[in-house]
Structure 1
Amino acid sequence: MSAGAKVEGYVADGYDKVREVFQELMDDGRETGAGVSVWRDGREVVRLSGGWADTGRHRAWRSDTLVQPYSLSKSFVTLAALVAVRDGALALDEPIAKRWPAYGVRGKERTTLRQVLTHRSGQPRFPSEAAGLDLLDDAGLRESLAMAAPEYVPGTSLGEHALTYGHLVDAILRETAGTTLGEVYNEVVRPALGLDAWFGVPDHALERVADLEYADPEWPRRLHAAPWLRIPDGVLDVERVNTAPWRQSVFGAVNLHTTATAMAEFFSRLTGADGPVRALLGPRLHADLLASQVTDFDEVFGTRITWTLGFVRDRGKIAKGGIGGSAAWWSLKHNHGCAYLTRRLDDHSRAAAIAAALGDDLTVVGED
């Protein structure tokens, strides 16, 4: 093992197994750059960094390294949407078309925000008409969703809105609240929660961003979710997503950039009656955010799953993962918030190994 792969950081008493497992991931080559954080009772009891932040293996991964965790981003899109509900700009259960008439065509006349947030609006991917659009053509991608027919009658089936989630919410916010997803998140949500997590990485933080890399060049084509990730082209292209224009854009479904410490702290405070999420949303919307909304077979995940408005939930955890291996969760069994964020795009077995060291089960958190 080279010196660059050494694990740095600390673990409190009782958490030595987490360091041991993380070091094993580095030693056997399954991991090349990642961070682990665990929060319990208001303090960080595990903060570990290992490997490198860049493909050239010159920058060591640090506790403040930012990385794109793919669909973990969606939970923060949800919060931005709920801020607009809090402020009365829209409602969870009224037709979106009531305030955005152009959307109410081709079977979407009765689609609601709740259906969008729980992945039941029938728009789990961009339509074929958007195939020629650039990854950063926000307006074109939003328009394609407004014009498209849903793949199924809204509310009748389930499929994670793999790439469309952020653009749907962004368009709804523009049409109903006169603002954007980026503005609501960066001006309201992020400051209220104190998050080192960014939609549109500012110039001063770009040097902290980790480069993504494939564990295997064939990885993107082996994914169960691959059919839902093809349009627009480039979301899984590391040469494209490792650029400043992408990192400084807002592609809400996937390109939040954040740290393991920020995500573990967020999840540790997610359910608290006196926590910042409840203070941001108010008691009613906070309860709605965390409550199980639908349980069904999710065609994108390829398994049966329970969604809240922004998370995956089961008896043991409230969680969200991202394709490529990153995951964060609140353990309902052990009352700790945890995050494993990685730059090496592969399956979720590494996060699952860390979870097992904590006594948690990460079954069904990603999109693989």
Structure 2
Amino acid sequence: MEIHGRWDPEFDRVAELMHDKVTSGDEVGASVYVSIDGEPVVDIWSGWKDKEHSSAWESDTIVNVFSGSKTVTSLAVLMLADRGEVDLHAPVARYWPEFARNGKEGAEVRHLLAHSVGLPAWEPPFDINLALDIPGATARLAAQAPWWKPGTRASYHASSFGHLNGELVRRVSGKSIGQFIADEIAGPLRADFHLGLDDPFSAKVATVYPAPEDGGPRIPKSATAPSDPEDGLAVEREISRRTRLGSFSGQKRDPLALYNSAAWRQAEFGGSTGHANARGLGRIMTVLANNGTSQGVTLLGRDTIAEVFKEQFAGIDSYYMKPIRWGIGYALAPQRNKEKGPLPFLRPGSRTAYWYGTGGALSIADAERGMAISYVMNQCQSGRGSMNGLYYDAIYDAL
């Protein structure tokens, strides 16, 4: 299988890996992008948009990156902070008055970005149609009591993050989160990232396939086990249980049909429905890795970037029941040793911000090395079958 694009010779192994995985069928189609000091050193793609091999993966092919979308939504909020339009330490209610209800009066903007605001899901009943009504679903979150005192613990806001931060962007900028990204991030950076596709069945869009197990965003079984009063993590397990009932993670549906539907692709879920290729996502993450600048365009100042790496929480995240360090808008790599977190292959780094999407999409900024990494694919993977760690290791081994 031919590998398209270009890469510097020291990254030959990355291209070989893609060749092997597409040829074997482990990958259907995929793209990888790496920049160092703002310059691309890997920009490759290969494979197919569909399992029938009726359409080749092209330079401009895009696919749903699921929670990789959160890295772009976080950048939008950080840009408003950089402009002085948002104070990360101010109450959310300063910009969104209706949010100051049921114990959230003191909840700060940074809590929204650090998954610590206490609204990891909707109170049941919940279904996907509720979330698709973005104004109504967002109003429900604003009225909801937090599940803990904001800022005191963290649990990944898998489904609600986009609604919460998207509304903040709308209140401050007057634009929907999808429009803000199009006008002020993707457009200036010439980045193929789209939140809310105008043409949901464009020939550019690859079919996304669930992982062999079930393919949907999910909570580990250990996180939803029955609570034991003697269990030191009983509170975390209960949060996970409630989250499952009130988010995409616990919904019974056909993931192949849902994630390729017009409704999903057109929705502006700032945490879930972004469609991109690795180059588009990578050009955006280069902003964090390259002192705020990508493609010759400066979107953030260094002081704002420094805020990203200020730890907001470190410990067991209730959603994953695994250790995570949350900064402002991004998870942070372990500082000293590898950890059994959501991406256990991550190497320690003092200034590495990251997140990933269901099935394996990666979005990483290693500001210490000036390096951004992105990987997207249309065959979702999970557990030991995930290939994101293989690409990650091949990239770091080449340095």
Q: Name the counterpart of 2:100.
A: 104
Quote the residue 2:363 is aligned against. Answer: 328
Shift, 1:19, TM fit: 1.8
Q: Give the C-alpha shift of residue 353 in structure 1.
A: 0.5
TM-score normalized with structure 1 length: 0.86
SS, match of residue 85 in structure 1: helix
C-alpha displacement of 1:212:
0.8
The correspondence of residues 246-257 of structure 1 with structure 2, limited to 5 A, is: 246-257=264-275
Taking a change above 3 Å as real, the CA distance of residues 88 and 235 of structure 1, as seen in their structure-2 partners, is: farther
Shift of 1:122: 0.6
Residues 238-277 of structure 1: pairs in structure 2 closer than 5 A: 238-273=256-291, 275-276=293-294
SS in 2 for 1:14: helix
What secondary structure does 1:220 align onto? Answer: coil
Residue-by-residue CA offset, 1:212-266 (whole Å, 9 max, x unaligned): 1123153438642896466354897221221233222201111111111122333
Amino acid at match of 1:300: Y
1:364 equivalent in structure 2:
none
Cα gap change, 1:336 to 1:107, in 2 (>3 Å)? same
Report the Cα distance in structure 2 between the residues aligned to 1:77 and 1:221, rounded to whole angstroms. Answer: 19
The answer to whether the Cα contact below 8 Å between 1:63 and 1:260 also exists between their aligned partners in 2 is no
Could you tell me how far 1:357 is from its partner in structure 2? 1.3
Which AA in structure 2 matches 1:80? Answer: A
In structure 2, the CA distance between the partners of 1:138 and 1:64, relative to structure 1 (3 Å rule), is same
SS of alignment partner, residue 54 of structure 1 = coil
Amino acid at match of 2:288: L
Partner in structure 1 of residue 247 of structure 2? 231
Matching residue of 2:312: 293
Greater CA deviation, 191-200 or 235-244?
235-244
CA offset at residue 358 of structure 1? 2.0
Q: How far apart, in 2, do the equivalents of 1:263 and 1:236 lie?
A: 27
CA gap 1:86/1:355 in 2 versus in 1, 3 angstroms: closer
Q: Secondary structure at the match of 2:64?
A: coil
- Alignment CA distance shift 1:266-1:179 (3 Å): closer
Partner Cα separation in structure 2 for residue 214 and residue 123 of structure 1? 27
- 1:354 aligned partner: 391
Match of 1:49 among 35, 45, 48: 45
- CA offset digits 1:47-85 (Å, max 9, x no partner): 322221124321111221111111111111112222333
Aligned match of 1:182? 178
2:340 matched to which residue of 1? none
| 8 Å contact from structure 2 (residues 63, 377) kept in 1 | yes
Paired position in structure 2 for 1:344:
379
How far apart are the structure 2 equivalents of 1:182 and 1:201? 9
CA RMSD of aligned residues (A): 2.9
Q: Which blocks of at least 5 consecutive residues in structure 2 are unaligned?
A: 224-239, 334-347
Residue in 2 that maps onto 1:366: none
CA distance in 2, matches of 1:283, 1:328: 20
Identity of aligned residues (%): 27
Partner of 1:311: 330
Among 9, 12, 19, the alignment partner of 1:16 is 12
Change (3 A) 1:177 1:216: same
User: Secondary structure at 1:128's aligned position in 2?
Assistant: coil
175 and 43 in structure 1: CA distance in 2 versus 1, 3 angstrom threshold: closer
Distance 1:28 1:139, change over 3 A: same
TM-score w.r.t. the length of structure 2 is: 0.80
Count of aligned positions = 357
